Amino acid sequence: MPRPPLDIGTYGKIRYSAIPGGGWRARTQFRDFDGKTRPVERTGKTQGKAAQRLKEAIREWTGSTSGDVTRETKLSDLAALWMEQVEGEVERGEKSPNTVTTYRSILDRHIVPGLGELRVREATVARIDRFLAALLRNVGASSAKTARTVLSGMFGLAARYDAIASNPTRDTRRISSGQTKQPRALEPMERTQWLVQLESNEKAVRWGLPDLSKFMMATGVRIGEALGVFWEDVDFVAGTVEVTHTVVRIKGKGLYRKPRPKTKKSERLLPLPSWALELLEKRRVEAVNDGRGPDSPVFASSTGGLRDPSNLLRVIRETRGREEFLWVTSHTFRKTTATALDDADVPTRLIADQLGHARVSMTQDVYLGRRSVNPATAAALEGLLDKPSGGQKRG
Same structural domain, 376 and 289: yes
Same structural domain, 79 and 227: no
Same structural domain, 52 and 79: no
Task: Please tell me whether the overall predicted TM-score, pTM, comes out greater than 0.85 for this model.
Answer: no
Q: Going by C-beta distance under 8 Å and a sequence separation of 6 or more, which residues neighbour residue 136?
A: 144, 175
Same structural domain, 24 and 84: no
**CATH code for the domain of 308:** 1.10.443.10
In a domain, 70, yes or no: no
What distance in Å separates the CA atoms of residue 354 and residue 273, rounded to the nearest whole number?
A: 13
In a domain, 259, yes or no: yes
What distance in Å separates the CA atoms of residue 145 and residue 133, rounded to the nearest whole number?
A: 10
In a domain, 9, yes or no: no
Which of 144, 171, 198 is a domain's end point?
171
Same structural domain, 121 and 21: no
Same structural domain, 140 and 265: no
pLDDT at res. 390: 44
Same structural domain, 194 and 339: yes
In a domain, 165, yes or no: yes
Same structural domain, 163 and 120: yes
In a domain, 5, yes or no: no
Same structural domain, 162 and 210: no
Q: Going by C-beta distance under 8 Å and a sequence separation of 6 or more, which residues neighbour residue 146?
A: 102, 103, 106
Alpha carbon separation from 341 to 287, 321, 367, 377 (Å, rounded) = 31, 27, 20, 7
Same structural domain, 286 and 195: yes
Mean per-residue pLDDT over the chain, rounded = 83
What distance in Å separates the CA atoms of residue 44 and residue 24, rounded to the nearest whole number?
A: 5
In a domain, 67, yes or no: no
Same structural domain, 269 and 330: yes
Domain range for 40: 15-62
In a domain, 394, yes or no: no
pLDDT at res. 232: 95
Digit-coded pLDDT (tens) for 99-140:
888 899 899 999 999 999 999 999 999 999 999 999 988 888
* pLDDT less than 50: residues of the chain: 63-66, 362-372, 387-395
pLDDT at res. 184: 78
Which of 200, 153, 144 is closest to 174 using CA atoms? 144
Number of domains in the chain: 3
Digit-coded pLDDT (tens) for 360-388:
554 233 222 234 456 667 777 777 776 44
pLDDT at res. 100: 82
Same structural domain, 195 and 261: yes
In a domain, 179, yes or no: no
